Structure 1
Amino acid sequence: MVREERWPRWVYGSGDEPDYRFSFANERTFLAWIRTGLALLAAGVAVDAFDLSFPGGVQRGLASALVVLALTTAVIGWTRWARAERAMRRNKPLPASHLSALLSAGVVVAAVTVLLVVLLSS
């Protein structure tokens, strides 16, 4: 009989197996975070690839900020998945995430930067 080792152990190593519907819902939420990260990554690549006539290093800085937000989104998504899965296994309340506010603030800063550049260049 082969023993199945599940990774990460700090998630699967304690508690009881939750209802699979909740685990699947948690996984779908993780995949939504990954899709958001991919969209931010695509936006960063697009901002860098096309000439938007932004002054100085604003275009390169905006592209870099979007790529960093994409990386941050992927990390947040995985961390949220793992913490929620562990909480469900231990029959504890789902943990809050303060990093979502950081991600939202980053998207707002990027949007305001684009808005200001467009308005000031008109």
Structure 2
Amino acid sequence: MVVGVAVPALAWVNWMRAERALRNAQPLPASLLGPVIAAAVTITGALVLLSILFA
């Protein structure tokens, strides 16, 4: 549930950063969503694996 709240918030922040960069003719910033989603998938996979092993 935390990731479900964090992803839209980070998407909005990333959109604001991109808009600011476009207005100032600067390079687009890197997205913040990749590491968050990768960590969430890794942690979820580990929890599923542990629940299968200890069931």
Superposed pair shares fold, TM > 0.5: yes
1:78 is aligned to 2:12? yes
1:101 is aligned to 2:48? no
For residues 96 and 107 of structure 1, the distance between their equivalents in structure 2, rounded to whole angstroms, comes to: 20
Spell out structure 1 runs of 4+ moving beyond 4 A.
none
Q: Which runs of 5+ in 1 are unaligned?
A: 1-66
**Residue 72 of structure 1 contacts residue 103 of structure 1 at CA under 8 Å; is this kept in 2?**
no
Instruction: Look up the match of 2:2.
Output: 68
The root-mean-square deviation of aligned C-alpha atoms, in Å, is 1.6
Instruction: Look up the match of 1:115.
Output: 49
Instruction: Look up the match of 1:32.
Output: none
For residues 111 and 82 of structure 1, the distance between their equivalents in structure 2, rounded to whole angstroms, comes to: 31
Aligned residues: 55
SS in 2 for 1:96: coil
TM-score (norm. length: structure 1): 0.40
More helix by share: 2
Query: Percentage identity across aligned positions?
Result: 38
TM-score (norm. length: structure 2): 0.79
Shift of 1:75: 0.8
